[in-house]
Amino acid sequence: MFFTTPSKLRAHGMLGMNRRNVAYISRYNNRRFYPLVDNKLKTKLVAEKARAATPRLLAVVEQQHQVNRLQQVLELYSEFVIKPAQGSQGKGILVITGRDGDHYLKPSGERVSPAEISRHASNILSGLYSLGGKPDVAMVESLVHFDHVFDEFSHEGVPDIRVIIFKGFPVMAMMRCSTKASDGKANLHQGAVGVGIDLASGKALHAVQHDRPVSHHPDTGAHFATLQVPHWDRILPLAASSYEMTGLGYIGADIVLDVHQGPMILELNARPGLAVQIANGTGLLPRLRAIEALSHPDMEVAERVTWAVEQFGERPAG
């Protein structure tokens, strides 16, 4: 059968796009708070204020004349990332991992001149990478040193963990692993692998590519069953704290793992997609409803995480 039936989807508690839009996003996400997540600079500022771990903000370039002073600031660092505050899908991100005299080095080893850095910053300011060409702000962030535990589960790109947070409770999590097919991007509809992660243990549950189950990473051959996200106990509280930070009821928190500093919030998303259900092989609705049915939802972050792990975590067999 090419199509399934609505009743089967309902039985699995699958959240559909229409219900997501009507019953969750428009009901629990106040539009007033959207800029907090749509603008990465604002996200970072609220995250820093809340003492949530996030890549450190080294410099902000808001106006053209500041571009010239940027060099003096960057003198201090040998590795950093320049990105637009309102860019989407990784556009306009320049990663510098080292120096070679006056020049900077990209991860690929390519040399970048200071003039090119300046030009990149002014391109960001003029809105080259922002949606609709709005004038933007360039941010300089400290470089994330991705944890090597994921090396065998990723092709070139950046693996990240997406946690769905509903009213501050972690609901479901997945890891997005880039592949050759996705061109190193962690974008599921381009062919990245989505791996459902057990909320209790941080272990892989189930993996899909192009919405079909897979067991091994298509490029590295690594078996997903062996995937265990380190520092799992720190990831969920970090993600859950984004509720207090943003005031948004239904969000997706994108978490990356830094070798030295552990989990960090990289981005927040007020309209997280539905692929997390496929990666986990289960629907979101029963979990969302369980939280909606709570009589005392006003809990501290730690209590919420404990409750969610108890409710939604897999129990080891036997």
Partner 1 sequence: MNARAQVYLLAMICIVIGLGLTIYKRIELGFPLLPGEQRPVWTVEAKVTFDAEDKPVKVSLALPNTGPGDIILSQDFTSPGYGFGWDGQGAERRAEWARREASGPQSIFYRLQLFHAAKNPAPPTSEAPEPPTAPEMDASTRTAINAVIDLVKERSSDNKTFTNELVRLINNPGSGMNLSSLLNAPHDSTIDKKVYLMLRVLATAGVPSRIVRGIKLEDGRRRVPLSELVEIHDGKHWVLFNPTTGETGHPENFLLWQRGGVSLLDVEGGSNSRVTFSIIENIRPAKAIAIAQGREQQATLVDFSIYSLPIEIQNTFKHILLVPIGALVVVLLRILVGIKTSGTFMPILIALALIQTTLFTGLAIFLIIVSIGLWIRSYLSNLNLLLVARISAVVIVVILLMAAMSILSNKLGLTQALTVTFFPMIILAWTIERMSILWEEDGPKEVVMQGGGSLLVAVIAYLAMTNRLVEHLTFNFPELLLVLLGIILLVGQYTGYRLSELRRFQPMVEGR
Q: In 68-203, where do the E strands start and end? A: 80-84, 94-96, 98-100, 103-105, 111-112, 138-142, 160-166, 169-177, 193-197
Under the binding rule (CB under 8 A), the answer on residue 18 touching partner 1 is: yes
CA distances, 267 to each of 85, 89, 197, 247, 270 (Å): 11, 11, 19, 15, 10
Q: How many CA atoms lie within 13 A of 86 on its CB side?
A: 18
Least distance from C-beta 291 to partner 1, angstroms? 18
Under the binding rule (CB under 8 A), the answer on residue 63 touching partner 1 is: no
By beta-carbon proximity to partner 1, the closer residue of 8 and 315 is: 8
By beta-carbon proximity to partner 1, the closer residue of 162 and 304 is: 162
Among 8, 49, 260, 315, binds partner 1 (CB under 8 A): 8
Under the binding rule (CB under 8 A), the answer on residue 128 touching partner 1 is: yes
- Tell me the residue type at 4: T
Under the binding rule (CB under 8 A), the answer on residue 72 touching partner 1 is: no
Among 30, 64, 68, 89, binds partner 1 (CB under 8 A): 89
Under the binding rule (CB under 8 A), the answer on residue 115 touching partner 1 is: no
Rounded Cα distance between 59 and 88, Å, is 20
Select from 198, 267, 277 the least CA-distant residue to 239: 267
Under the binding rule (CB under 8 A), the answer on residue 6 touching partner 1 is: yes
Rounded Cα distance between 111 and 118, Å, is 14
Least distance from C-beta 56 to partner 1, angstroms? 28
Under the binding rule (CB under 8 A), the answer on residue 106 touching partner 1 is: no
CA distances, 92 to each of 106, 139, 145, 219 (Å): 14, 11, 19, 26
Under the binding rule (CB under 8 A), the answer on residue 302 touching partner 1 is: no
Under the binding rule (CB under 8 A), the answer on residue 215 touching partner 1 is: no
By beta-carbon proximity to partner 1, the closer residue of 241 and 280 is: 280
By beta-carbon proximity to partner 1, the closer residue of 11 and 302 is: 11
Under the binding rule (CB under 8 A), the answer on residue 64 touching partner 1 is: no
Rounded Cα distance between 280 and 294, Å, is 23
Q: Go through the chain and tell me how many residues it has.
A: 318
Stretch touching partner 1 by CB under 8 A, among 72-80, 119-127, 169-177, 197-205: 119-127
Footprint (CB under 8 A) of partner 1, residues 241-280: 274, 277-278
Cβ neighbours of residue 174 closer than 8 Å, sequence gap 6 or more: 161, 162, 194, 195, 196, 197, 275, 276, 279, 280
- Positions touching partner 1 (CB under 8 A) are 1-6, 8-9, 11-12, 14, 16-19, 22-23, 88-89, 91, 123, 126-128, 132-133, 183, 187, 189-190, 208, 211-213, 274, 277-278, 281
